[in-house]
Structures are given as C-alpha cells and as structure tokens.
Amino acid sequence: MSVTTENAPVQGQTTLQENRAGEGVYASLFDKINLTPASRLGDINDFLDDAALSETPAAERLTAAMQVFMERIRQSGQRVEKLDKTLIDHHIAELDFQISRQLDAVMHHQEFQQVESLWRGLKQLVDNTDYRQNVKTEILDVAKDDLRQDFEDAPELIQSGLYWHTYTAEYDTPGGEPIGSVISAYEFDASPQDVALLRNISRVSAAAHMPFIGAVGPAFFLKETMEEVAAIKDIGNYFDRAEYIRWKAFRETDDARYIGLVMPRVLGRLPYGPDTVPVRSFNYVEQVVRTTKSISGPARRSPSLPIW
C-alpha cells in the first residue's frame, strides 16, 4: 500500500497520508476501481454501528478492510511472500455465507416479504398491461385496516374516502376518468369484520360500476395451509357451516356481483442462487427451508380459482 500509517491523537484512529499520484499498490488499486484513496480513517470500531457504516464513504470502508487484512497478516507472525489465492477464496466464501444468512434473515421476515410481494405483484401487473390501449394504472396506498376504519368512521357510505376517490372525484365528475377496476392486495376471510368490509366495498363498486378484486387464503376455509384446503372433499357442503352464514348472506346481495376473490397465491420469484436467479455482486445462495418462505403474491392476472 502506498500509504503511511501514523497514530492520531484520538485513540483508535489512524491518519492515512497518500504518496504521490501513481505510486504504490494502494493508489493503483483505487485507480482501477475508480475510487479516491482515503486521506483519513476513523475508529474501526465505529463500523460496528449500522448508521455510521452506511454514512462512511466507500473508499474509507475499503481502506479499513485492507487495514484489517494487513493487520491479520502481521499478527500471524509468518513471513508472507505471496498470498495464497485458495486461502483468500476460502475467506471470501465464508464472508459470502455470512452475508447470505443475514440477507435470509431480512428477506424471510414476514413484513419484508409482504412488501416484496406487493411490489413484485404491481410490477407484474404493469409489465403485462398494454398501455397503448388507453389504459392507466393509479396506485392508492391504503392499508386494509385503514380502509375498514374509514368506513366505520364515515357517517354515511357516500362520505367515505373510497367513495370520494372512485365515485365522486371520477365517475360523477364531468371530465373525470371512471375507474375500470380495483386490484387490491387484500386477503379476506369469512370473519364478520371482513364480510362487513366486503359489503361496504361492494356498495362503492356498484355505485362506480367498478369491479373489485381481492384474494383469499387458507384462513378463509378455516385452514392453515393450502394442502389442507385441497383435502376438503365436498366444497359445496363445506360452506353450509355456521361460520359462513354472514358470507352466504352477503353473496345473495345484488352488489356482491362486483366483488371477485381469487386463489391460490402464485410464486413471485425463484430463490436467489447460481442456478435460479444469479446475484452478480457476491455469491448469494438463498436458503428456503419451508415453502411458506417463498415469495408469493395474490393471483392477479395469473391462472387462479375464483371463489364465487
């Protein structure tokens, strides 16, 4: 490295002084990767803080890594005339493995998967829409519970937010652009709360002549997995249970024809890996130990089974 290291007055800090341009391995390396050599390196322990690490320039992070690497060699007490490429590859593989497991922990978190599923589903919808046919896609960011609360807080249905967005501001306004359909990321079950929400949505949809598409999962059938749903023998008689009284009453209403619920969920992407979806920046092999950790999304334009 074409830098000299001196102890700074503050403990744990070092100052790096760059040699003349073009000299030394350090300057040559940074020139190859289009980075400017660091002129100062702070306390290496600061990198343990995620926020501090994210704000540190790439050149300083790389310099710190090189310093740790050189320090490891010095502490080994062995004379190193040539670096063992096989050993370096081994350490790189270990780092890739640790990063991969940390990424797995983040990407397999339920809340992260919900966000990834939502955006991948939206991308699939946009990618498969022919916008040459005078089609527009608008996004309304509202959680299912917020929509439910909005209906409950509105004195009348016509004062709800969904009614204003879809009917008052568009369908009932001269020059407005009536909405052709609403494709939601909501998953419903047969609980009284969800049936009441669907009933309110159906009334708004009927007023604006706007079909509403939602989804159902195993919970709709009082099951935990789709395998258990598939094992139901007589699905017609299954809905004669007391748990579906409100659901069947809702189905008999005229406005219910504007509601469509689809299933099952579809695979949004394959696990990352060299044989599936390669990652260029490092050797990431996503470990999927259960099918429930696969990225999936509500069946929108994909083949699905309508629940009606």
Asked whether 160 and 204 are in contact (CB, 8 A), the reply is yes
Residue 165 token pair: 């967005």
Is cis: bond before 264, omega within 30 of 0? yes
pLDDT at residue 298 in the model: 61
* Contact criterion met (CB below 8 Å) for 240 and 198: no
Query: What backbone torsions phi and psi does residue 94 show, to the nearest 5 degrees?
Result: -65, -40
Q: What is the pLDDT of residues 157-198, one digit of tens each?
A: 999 999 999 999 999 999 999 999 999 999 999 999 999 999
The full DSSP string for 218-235 is: GGGGT-SSHHHHHT-S-H
Q: According to the model, what pLDDT value does residue 48 have?
A: 73
pLDDT per residue rounded down to tens, the chain (308 residues): 444 444 444 444 444 444 444 457 777 777 777 788 877 777 767 777 777 777 788 888 888 877 777 777 777 777 777 777 887 788 788 888 999 999 999 999 999 998 999 999 999 999 999 999 889 999 999 999 999 999 999 999 999 999 999 999 999 999 999 999 999 999 999 999 999 999 999 999 999 999 999 999 999 999 999 999 999 999 889 999 999 999 999 999 999 999 999 998 888 889 999 999 999 888 898 988 765 455 565 654 433 333 43
- 8 A C-beta contact, residue 124 and residue 301: yes
Q: What is the pLDDT of residue 46?
A: 72
Tell me how far apart the alpha carbons of residues 27 and 18 are, in angstroms, rounded to a whole number: 8
Backbone angles phi, psi at 131, to 5 degrees: -80, 0
β-sheet with 3-7: strand ranges across: 3-7, 14-18, 40-41
Strands 305-306 and 296-297: unpaired
Tell me if 165 sits within 8 A of 159, measured CB to CB.
no
The answer to whether residues 220 and 307 touch, using CB atoms and an 8 Å cutoff, is yes
The confidence score (pLDDT) of residue 297 equals 59
Give the model's pLDDT for residue 296: 60
pLDDT value at residue 171: 95
Q: What is the pLDDT of residues 17-43, one digit of tens each?
A: 444 444 577 777 777 777 888 777 777
Full DSSP string of 227-282: HHHHT-S-HHHHTTSGGGHHHHHHHTSGGGGGEEEEE--EE--PPBSTTSB--SSS
Whether the pTM exceeds 0.85: the reply is no
Which of 172, 168, 143 lies closest to 158 in space, CA to CA? 168
Longest dimension (CA), the chain: 85
Please state the domain extents for the chain: 3-81, 110-306
The strand pair at 14-18 and 3-7 is best described as antiparallel
3-state secondary structure of 40: strand
